[in-house]
Chains A and B, each alone.
Chain A
Amino acid sequence: MNFDRYVRWIKPFVFLLCLAPMGRLGWKAWNHVLGANPIQEITFSTGTWTLVFLCITLSVTPLRQILHQPWLIRFRRMFGLFAFFHACLHFTTYLWLDKFFDVHEIVKDVYKRPFITAGFTAFVALIPLACTSTKGMIRRLGGKRWQMLHRLVYVSATAGVVHYYWLVKSDVRVPVRYGVIVALLLGYRLLKTLLSRWGGTPDVEREARPSAAL
């Protein structure tokens, strides 16, 4: 079945679905059912969904290749931008509700607290990716350079997991779960690169990707 022709119809639904977590959070905030520590809840929720969307974005390529469903790539930008959207909300929560725009405190935090440093790195790494996500920017940068730049998402996902792992008090089960997922997603890529480099087969995928990314 050729899903390609349905993508433009599915996309609005997926878009709305991606908005659902924040819709739910907003509804809870409006009805005052965010629990005893609402700001903590908002911080936690936006942070978690950033990681979830980073994982979804990173799983597009492996799924597309393993399942032979090239049309999946057409959702990747949207997922990536949703990761950035949640990261912005998460960062704003920190900036506004946690630090009240106290720049001095924030600079100290980023410098002094490893978990903030990691989180900040994860966030900053996403900014150029969001900025260069348009068709025009891909054309201007050229497929190869664009692709190189967008490998920053690996840094962002890794730093995001480290950020989570470092902030929990003692129960690291959930951050470790995210760590395993990200490790699998990045491991897949590493394995593929190594196989194509040493196996002698030319990496057709790599040649094809820039155009597919469009």
Chain B
Amino acid sequence: MLIKKSNDIPSSEITPKSVYLNRRRFITGAVALGASALAVRELSGLLPPPPVVYAGVKLPGLVKSPLSTSETQTPFKDVTNYNNYFEFSTDKYEPAHLAVNFRTRPWTVKVEGEVLKPKVYDVDQLMKMAALEERIYRHRCVEGWSIVVPWAGFPLSVLINQVQPTSKAKYVQFLTALDSNQMPGLRYGGLDWPYSEGLRLDEAMNPLALLCFGLYGEALPNQNGAPVRVILPWKYGFKSGKSIVKIRFVEHQPPTAWSTATPSEYGFYSNVNPEVDHPRWSQATERRLGEYMKRKTLMFNGYGDQVAHLYTGMDLRKNY
């Protein structure tokens, strides 16, 4: 008996799995994009949806800032390949690879707590709240290395004024994205997730405090905290939270990640201070990436003129 197998599909016609999956992702993406575009359109009063800005997209027309330093900038390659981003890895070179596919759109930042106008901002909308400035800042890591980076953003105070903190708002808390599917570093419980950082309200209102969307004239690379982060140049790097999803105005000092993990080593303030050593190593000097000799660390990372007044009368040995 002859059994015809005429219904077989030749293997050449089978869609490869990757293509099939890509198509699915494309459709889901398109639907999500459409939906979010629709939502944004509704919110922003039928304006055309803002263009989507991914890592690496050029940010044209950055305004120069008098707060910028003229020091030699750390090469882009070093700034974007030597990162502490523990949600991805505790190795500094790993986040650049592991964060490549981190999804930064659609992205919202929820502003809540002691404010008159709490709001959920779409990040592309948030970016347009004020003209983006280029701020070339020194950035000092608590581990004893430093970089000089041209960031792009606007003062955090712009957003704060927009949401109008109540009289009860004494502190601002920043919470980082938490997605164990995309962030392999979360499997190792080195810190309490989500990563939480905080400032006193007057610190957050300081003109130096930057809500940051880019570096080197382009949108933030994922490993540097895309799509939005804060930059606080007078504090150790870990205070400048990355990939922020929530900004909360609160009455009491919020718990912060490193200080919760090791209270004796990291305090709430964590201002750069060459006179107060980390219990395990000196903070008197630092190595600027790319330099052979170590250099002296400056009080408040050299931003004393702008921020020293915030701490008058405080014992910085106790409030480290």
Task: Point out the residues of chain B lying under 8 angstroms from A169, CB to CB.
Answer: 90, 143
The interface centre, meaning the residue of B86, B90, B262, B293 with most chain A CB atoms within 10 A of its CB, is: B90
Q: Can you list, as one digit per residue, whether each of B140-160 has a CB less than 8 Å from chain A (1) or not (0)?
A: 000101000000000000000
Complex Cα distance, B6 from A81, in Å, reads 74
B residues 267-305 touching A (CB-CB < 8 Å) = 280-282, 287, 289-290, 292-294
Residues of A within 8 A of B145 (CB): 37, 40
A residues 148-183 with Cβ under 8 Å of B? 166-167, 169-171, 173
For this complex, into which size category does the number of interface residues on chain B fall? 20 to 34
Q: Contacts A40-B145, A100-B294, A171-B190 known; A35 to B93 CB distance under 8 Å?
A: yes
Q: How far is the CA of A40 from the CA of B188 in the complex (A)?
A: 24
Minimal beta-carbon separation of B318 from chain A (angstroms)? 20
A98 within 8 Å of B (CB atoms): yes
Chain A at the B interface: mostly helix, strand, loop or mixed? Answer: helix
The number of inter-chain residue pairs (CB within 8 angstroms) is 46
Q: Are B280 and A113 in contact, CB atoms less than 8 angstroms apart?
A: yes
The A98-115 residues at the B interface (CB cut-off 8 A) are 98, 100, 109, 113-115
Selected contact of A170 from candidates B82, B92, B191, B292, CB within 8 Å: B191
Residues in A whose Cβ lies below 8 Å from that of B78: 36
A39 within 8 A of B: yes
| Cβ B81 vs Cβ A98 within 8 A | no
Instruction: Provide the bound-state CA to CA distance between A39 and B290, in Å.
Output: 10
Are A35 and B82 in touch, CB under 8 angstroms? Answer: yes
- Give the distance in Å from the alpha carbon of A169 to the alpha carbon of B237 in the complex: 14
B52 at interface (Cβ–Cβ under 8 A)? no
Tell me which residues across on chain A come within 8 A of B262, comparing CB atoms.
170
Q: Which of B56-106 contact A (CB under 8 A)?
A: 77-78, 81-82, 86, 90, 92-93
Given A113-B281, A171-B190, 16 extra CB contacts under 8 A: A36-B92, A37-B145, A37-B287, A40-B287, A97-B292, A100-B293, A109-B282, A113-B280, A113-B282, A115-B280, A166-B280, A167-B281, A169-B90, A170-B191, A171-B90, A173-B188
**Could you tell me which B residues sit within 8 Å of A by CB distance?**
77-78, 81-82, 86, 90, 92-93, 143, 145, 188, 190-191, 261-262, 280-282, 287, 289-290, 292-294
Measured CB to CB, the residues of A under 8 A from B are: 35-37, 39-40, 97-98, 100, 109, 113-115, 166-167, 169-171, 173
